[in-house]
Structure 1
Amino acid sequence: MSNALSLSQRRALRALSLAYFVQATGALSIAGSLTAISAAWQLTDSQSARLLTVFGLTFALAAPLAQVLFGHYRRRQQVLSGMLLFSLGAFAFALSPGYGALIASRVMMGLGAGLIGPVLVALGAELTHEQQRGRAIGIVLLGVSMASLAGIPLAAWIASLWGAKVLFALVGLISLLSGLNILFSVPSGPEGTPIHLADIAGVLRKGEYLSAFLVVFFITAGVYSFYSFIAPLIRDTYAGGTHAVSAALTVLGVAGVLGNLYVTRAAARLSAEKLLITGMLLLIMDTALITMLPKILSILLLALVVWAFATDMLWPSQQRRVVELSSTKLRGVALALTSAFMFGGIGFGSAVAAWIYPLAGFYGLTGISVAFILMALLCLRLSERLRKLPASEQAAPQ
């Protein structure tokens, strides 16, 4: 059987990738636009960072519950509904009169993303044969890397030039257009798989699954405890302004895309576990190096190349590993829980950063980032050990 993707498959996967781009940009542009958001609503940096926390924790709860309530619907229908809700949340953010309304709008965006994120990967996997699955997942998740490459730096530039309100109005508009693209490019597909709370509990009771979800939780907590404060770090530690932040975000984006492209090709010959271990070790060593190097902006930008390359090796490898772990019946709930733990980690990491940064500054953030990634490595080792046990012995300890 040929491993080549057809034209219609490539078109559909690109539409899903674009949807991931829009979601990731809207969700994570808070980090690059922290200063502009704080200025627009007279907030502290910690208050603005908590908007990322609110989104992450909302998504973490919404992703699995959305599969319980709506998992029986066609996956494309779930994505289109999520894109509409995400768009409305972005428009509400742009029109928010105060901090309470900002939080409510981020909850709305998190609910919409809970319908989008887990389903995009599952839908992309369903469009292709098993031999093409690693490549298809890589194409869909390329949207996340492209958000880092272009979306988040562009968002930071728009926010600094025209303000955060214009930025989120554009996010809302592009989200609507992306939904239309999916409507016309992606096949409707079969009915979704009904998911029950008992299914979620059953998956979480399996040690190999729970430990796999904790891998992504600690990875994202480690990454976002540093990334969520990238703008204040550059401002306070490296004496850089708006252009320096945009340059750092661009460097992160370019290197991240390279990491994603590397994984897309390496998936044919390297296991997901090996790619995860390599990416996490690179991330630990580079973060430690950033801590020790002179606080010169050009040196930071060079170090961020490795940091972003390593980070974007991790996302597709983790998703691939969960797909390989799960049966067809459990794939939807497993991916929903993966996304839930991912954004739970984002919310937790950014919340820890908002608490640590005023107390311990730059060194506090890098230290906690390394600690979280070490926890992810331990969870991966545990997950692999449990994966090799007989099914009767895989239940998590009661």
Structure 2
Amino acid sequence: MHTPFSAPTRRALRTLSLAYFVQATGALSVVGSLDAISRQWWLADSQSAYLISVFGLTFAFAAPLLQVGFGHLRRRRQVLLGLALFSAAALLFAAAPNYPVLLLSRVLMGLGAGFIGPVLGALGSSLVDRDHQGSAIAVVLLGLSIAGLVGMPLSAWVAHAWGARALFLVAGLTGAGTAALIAWAVPDSSEGEHVKLSTVTALLTRIDTLSAFLVVFLIAAGVYSTYSFIAPIIRDVFHAGAGTVSTSLVVLGVAGVAGNLFVTRAARRYSAETMLLAGLALLAADLVFLWLASPSVRWLFVALTAWAFATDLLWPSQQRRIVELVPQLRGVALALTASFVFCGIGLGSAVAGWIYPALGFAGVIGSSLAFLALATVSLTISRASVAAKAKPVASSNSLQPWGKR
């Protein structure tokens, strides 16, 4: 199979993909092990669920601020620092004597993840030339897809077979091992960025970049307006049990890996904007299909396959577009992208929690479609703003032969 990457570059990208797998699995492992955590520490389910929220909020606010404080460090060093903190926090979780220590450990895991996730894409894209950055980012993000396919079911199995403490012990040790692999396989050649708080403010106040960040915020809100209630939907609409929920997650994982492999190749031929528009259109069509199709498990699996494929078009393409938009600030820009993703997930989940009890399946589908429509509008605004900024440059170049008047 033809590949644009040399053997050492492929090894480095796959190692970074493993780091994404470890971070994503550790971040989401509470979801699959909620019951085990509640039993281990005698907690109410609401207390255990808060361990998910505190991680997400910490990550969302820390990711850009960490780039301000530590973005000047080489990117590999940032990832290693993040993995060290993430792994130590997971071990603290495993040894936690009470709920306050559990909360502290999740805050520290969120801080570590704030170093890891946003920097991995920037580090991976820096290892290749511009024409292959989309493919490199897709390879790195494959770890995120595999986390959904393998990491979530495996973490749930470990927690229920050996307990939640064992799960986070494994997470901590795996993180430390991944850090050692990165130190061996990934070149320490990617310079960091000297990021000022004013730079973050500027990115958030420029129309082209703010609208680009809002694209992923609204996509995440649209996805999670329905996805966060996938288990109740399967129970209430498709009249299926817990076994179907597990099978559905496996279907999403398998289709997600297949979609990621497709995107790795398609990114060499199509622009990030084209891929984003295609993903938005496919996801919207799939939501309408899910809504209108007869409530059978067969059609559910068809819809989930298209769902995973569509989201795999969206996530890498958004990161690629951000890198192309502000290549000199890719680290802080990707950190802000990750923050907007987590904020979008929070908004989408909150909207679903309000709408589903009142309006049911049709309500959450409608809210998802509304968010996706707003994402399309935001992408259009961002494209127009980028084009408008390019016009004065082109006009200036066209006037050069006339000389100075």
Normalised by the size of structure 2, how large is the TM-score?
0.87
The equivalent residue for 2:268 is 268
The equivalent residue for 2:376 is 377
Q: Measure the CA separation in 2 of the matches of 1:136 and 1:164.
A: 34
Aligned residues: 391
Aligned-partner SS, 1:279: helix
Task: Label 1:381 to 1:238 Cα distance change in 2 as closer, same or farther (>3 A).
Answer: same
Residue pair 1:220, 1:342 contacting (<8 A) in 2 also: yes
CA displacement at 1:41 relative to structure 2: 5.4
The CA deviation string for residues 301-355 of structure 1, in whole angstroms up to 9 with x for no partner, is: 2221111111111111101111111132x22221111112112222333344445
The equivalent residue for 2:151 is 151
Residue pair 1:59, 1:344 contacting (<8 A) in 2 also: no
Q: Measure the CA separation in 2 of the matches of 1:336 and 1:316.
A: 14
The CA deviation string for residues 246-288 of structure 1, in whole angstroms up to 9 with x for no partner, is: 2111100111112111111111221111111111121122223
Normalised by the size of structure 1, how large is the TM-score?
0.89
CA displacement at 1:80 relative to structure 2: 0.7
The equivalent residue for 1:92 is 92
The question of 1:337 aligning with 2:327 is answered: no
The question of 1:230 aligning with 2:226 is answered: no
Residue pair 2:132, 2:268 contacting (<8 A) in 1 also: no
Task: Label 1:169 to 1:236 Cα distance change in 2 as closer, same or farther (>3 A).
Answer: farther
Residue pair 2:72, 2:191 contacting (<8 A) in 1 also: yes
The equivalent residue for 2:345 is 346
The CA deviation string for residues 57-98 of structure 1, in whole angstroms up to 9 with x for no partner, is: 211111111111111111111101111111223233344455
CA displacement at 1:364 relative to structure 2: 4.0
Q: Measure the CA separation in 1 of the matches of 2:297 and 2:43.
A: 26
**Structure with larger Rg:** 2
In structure 1, list runs of 5 or more residues that go unmatched.
Answer: 394-398
Q: Measure the CA separation in 1 of the matches of 2:184 and 2:33.
A: 33
Alignment of 1:264-303 (within 5 A): 264-303=264-303
Task: Label 1:227 to 1:156 Cα distance change in 2 as closer, same or farther (>3 A).
Answer: farther
Residue pair 1:71, 1:193 contacting (<8 A) in 2 also: yes
Residue pair 2:222, 2:367 contacting (<8 A) in 1 also: yes
The question of 1:250 aligning with 2:281 is answered: no
CA displacement at 1:44 relative to structure 2: 6.3
Q: Measure the CA separation in 2 of the matches of 1:37 and 1:288.
A: 37
CA displacement at 1:390 relative to structure 2: 2.2
The equivalent residue for 1:396 is none
The equivalent residue for 2:401 is none
One-letter amino acid of the structure 1 residue matched with residue 345 of structure 2: I
Greater relative CO (CA pairs within 8 A, separation 6+): 1
Residue pair 1:68, 1:196 contacting (<8 A) in 2 also: yes
One-letter amino acid of the structure 2 residue matched with residue 262 of structure 1: F
Task: Label 1:250 to 1:92 Cα distance change in 2 as closer, same or farther (>3 A).
Answer: same
Alignment of 1:1-398 (within 5 A): 4-34=4-34, 36-37=36-37, 48-96=48-96, 99-235=99-235, 237-328=237-328, 330-357=329-356, 359-390=358-389
Q: Measure the CA separation in 1 of the matches of 2:4 and 2:229.
A: 41
* Farther-moved stretch of structure 1 (55-64 vs 194-203): 55-64
Question: Percent identity, aligned pairs only?
Answer: 56
Aligned-partner SS, 2:268: coil
Task: Label 1:35 to 1:313 Cα distance change in 2 as closer, same or farther (>3 A).
Answer: farther
Q: Measure the CA separation in 1 of the matches of 2:321 and 2:264.
A: 13
Task: Label 1:325 to 1:70 Cα distance change in 2 as closer, same or farther (>3 A).
Answer: same
Instruction: Give me the CA root mean square deviation.
Output: 2.6
One-letter amino acid of the structure 1 residue matched with residue 138 of structure 2: G
One-letter amino acid of the structure 2 residue matched with residue 369 of structure 1: S
One-letter amino acid of the structure 2 residue matched with residue 61 of structure 1: F
Q: Measure the CA separation in 1 of the matches of 2:220 and 2:341.
A: 6
* Farther-moved stretch of structure 1 (219-228 vs 13-22): 219-228
The CA deviation string for residues 340-383 of structure 1, in whole angstroms up to 9 with x for no partner, is: 21122223333444454555554443333222222211111111
CA displacement at 1:36 relative to structure 2: 4.8
Residue pair 1:32, 1:230 contacting (<8 A) in 2 also: no
Q: Measure the CA separation in 2 of the matches of 1:147 and 1:174.
A: 13
Q: Measure the CA separation in 2 of the matches of 1:114 and 1:372.
A: 26
One-letter amino acid of the structure 1 residue matched with residue 301 of structure 2: L
Q: Measure the CA separation in 2 of the matches of 1:245 and 1:60.
A: 28
Aligned-partner SS, 1:366: helix
